[in-house]
Structures are given as C-alpha cells and as structure tokens.
Amino acid sequence: MDIRSVGVVGAGQMGNGIAHVMALAGYEVLLNDLDKETLDAALERIARNMDRQVRGGKVSEQDKEAALARIKTTLELTDLGRCDLIIEAATEREEIKQKIFDTLLPHLKPETILTSNTSSISITRLASRTDRPERFMGFHFMNPVPVMQLVELIRGIATDEATFQACKAVVDRLGKTAASAEDFPAFIVNRILMPMINEAVYTLYEGVGSVQSIDQSMKLGANHPMGPLELADFIGLDTCLAIMNVLHDGLADTKYRPCPLLTKYVEAGWLGRKTKRGFYDYRGETPVPTR
Ligand code: NAD
C-alpha cells in the first residue's frame, strides 16, 4: 500500500500537530474542521511551531516552506475521500466520530485506510460500523505531536496485517516509534497515565496536598518532567474525564472512578490550558494554582 496523501479530520490540538508532522515527512495533507476560523488558526499554529523548529536548527527554512505548501484545508469532509489514509482526530465523543465515518464512507477509495486518533474509544466497535473493519485501526499520537516520539498503533479484532504494516511504515517515515497495543480500554499509555492523574486529583480533593505541592512532589520526588495536574491541564480536563469514564465503564472496576473534583472542573468549563483555566489559571504572565 503506497500512502501519499493523508486526510486529517479535526484541526484542534492533535489534528494540527498530525498535519504538521505528516507534511514535514512529505505527505500531501488535507485538513478538515467545522469552521474556517479553526482551520486558519491551525495553519497559523503549524507555521509558528515550524518556525520554532527552524530556529532550533531541527528543520530548514526550505523544508518548512515545502511542508506548509503540502497542507490544504477544506470545510467539506467528503473532499477527504481522495486520500490514501484518513486520521480522524475530532472531539473525543463516540457519536461525533461515528457521524464523521458515516459521512466519509461512501466517498472513500476501496483501498483507503481509515484510522482514529481516539485516546480511549474501542477501535473494534468503531471499525465494526464501517465497510472496512480489516482496513481500520487506531493511530494514536501523543501531545504535542511534533515533540513526542511515540505513536500507539492499535489493531481492532479484524485489522489485517497489511493495514498494520502500512501504518507502521508511516510511523517509521515520520521518524517516530510505534508501540503495538491491543484494543482494550485506553490502550497502554492512558491506561497507566490517567489513573495516576485521577489519583493526583483525589490527593488534591482530599486535601493531602495543594496543586503546587502535588506537582512539585512528582517532579522532584519521582523525576517526572511535568507534575500530574500541570499535565492534566495540558491534555485537557474534559479529555482526562472522558478517558476515566471509558476505563470505569469498559473495565467495570471501581478503582477507575473519576474524582468528583475532576468532574467539577469540567462542569465549570475549566478545561485546562485550552480554556486558560484548569488546575492553574493561565490568564496572567505565569500560571497561578486555582487551589
Ligand atoms: P480538540 O478539542 O483540541 O480538537 C477537536 C477538533 O475537532 C475541534 O477543532 C473541533 O471543531 C473538531 N470537530 C468536532 N466535530 C467535528 C466534525 N464533525 N468534523 C470535523 N471536525 C470536528 O481535541 P484534541 O485534544 O485535538 O483531541 C482530538 C482527538 O485526539 C480525540 O479523539 C482525543 O481523544 C485524541 N487525543 C488527544 C490527546 C490530547 O492530549 N489532547 C492525545 C492523544 C489523542
């Protein structure tokens, strides 16, 4: 399978990073979202992030210009039908993803590989509702995509070997490392990471520590580059809560129950960096803990 063009659905935090790395690796990219403002903001962000890579000597000015020229945007999801590989990176809600696949399917080439960047939704279930469960799999990037080395590749129960190898070849060409994960709730990284973040929120909720002392403890005491609450803000508290719910429902074990304080922050619309407030307030010069 010769993959030359990649369609990316959703131009949010992950979608713009995926378009960025795909274009730098030489793929033609078609990026889709619901409104023009989001697409324009994504292109601006990609250009800014590539500028940073140029300043750091990681990318040449010429390669940056060539990569930017390879990224096109569209508001018409069905335009992605001509791509060889689709990576769906829209909001983490199953009904949204389902609707995207339903709309796309009649427009896809028979050989097109369909993938989802979902952090937690069952690949087998998403695949079973398409016309190509054997050419469907999980293509799970880490945030921020241009920086993080790992991509989890998740086979659904029906995914065939050729599809897995084609996706693995794409990861290789990106210069990243693929980890193969079986299709169980939250796969590998989030299965381990999210319960730790959730436990950090319980630690805050029960008054064992403040935001600052919890983050400092894990940075200096466990050698983590970021504290768990800082990391939760970075990922998005809505995403963290959604993943905890998937673990809780999917594994039916109370050890995965989401902390009520996490739910409260999400209900307040304090979703972390993307809304400028979460466990820290980002509206000023330096982040200020909110508890
Ligand atoms: P985000 O909210 O930043 O972006 C989602 C984008 O999808 C938005 O721009 C939204 O307008 C768009 N969208 C929603 N419905 C759409 C539709 N019908 N058609 C086209 N676009 C649509 O979210 P994100 O953090 O980029 O997450 C996207 C996906 O990546 C989720 O499945 C999430 O689980 C996964 N993921 C997130 C992270 C992370 O750290 N944030 C890491 C790995 C994977």
- Alpha carbon dihedral 239, 243, 246, 247, in 10-degree steps, equals -170
248 is catalytic: no
Kindly give the pairing relationship between strand 280-281 and strand 288-289: antiparallel
Crossing angle, helix 228-235 and helix 189-205, to 10 degrees? 120
- Interacting residues of 118 by C-beta distance below 8 A, sequence separation 6+: 88, 92, 97, 126, 138, 140
- State the catalytic residue, choosing from 119, 120, 122, 198: 119
Write out the binding residues for NAD(+). 10-15, 33, 92, 97, 119, 143, 274
Backbone angles phi, psi at 204, to 5 degrees: -70, -45
Cβ atoms 73, 43 nearer than 8 A: yes
**Residue ranges of domains in the chain, CATH in brackets:** 5-182 (3.40.50.720), 190-289 (1.10.1040.10)
173 Cα to the center of ligand 1, angstroms: 24
119 is catalytic: yes
Among protein residues, the one with the nearest Cα to ligand 1's atom 8 is 12
91 Cα to the center of ligand 1, angstroms: 4
Distance set, CA 204 to CA 97, 225, 260 (Å): 33, 20, 11
* d(C-alpha 27, C-alpha 17), whole Å: 14
pLDDT at 163: 98
The one-digit pLDDT tens for each residue of the chain (291 residues) are: 789 999 999 999 999 999 999 999 999 999 999 999 999 999 999 999 999 999 999 999 999 999 999 999 999 999 999 999 999 999 988 999 999 999 999 999 999 999 999 988 899 999 999 999 999 999 999 989 999 999 999 999 999 999 999 999 999 999 999 999 999 999 999 999 999 999 999 999 999 999 999 999 999 999 999 999 999 999 999 999 999 999 999 999 999 999 999 999 999 999 999 999 999 999 999 999 999
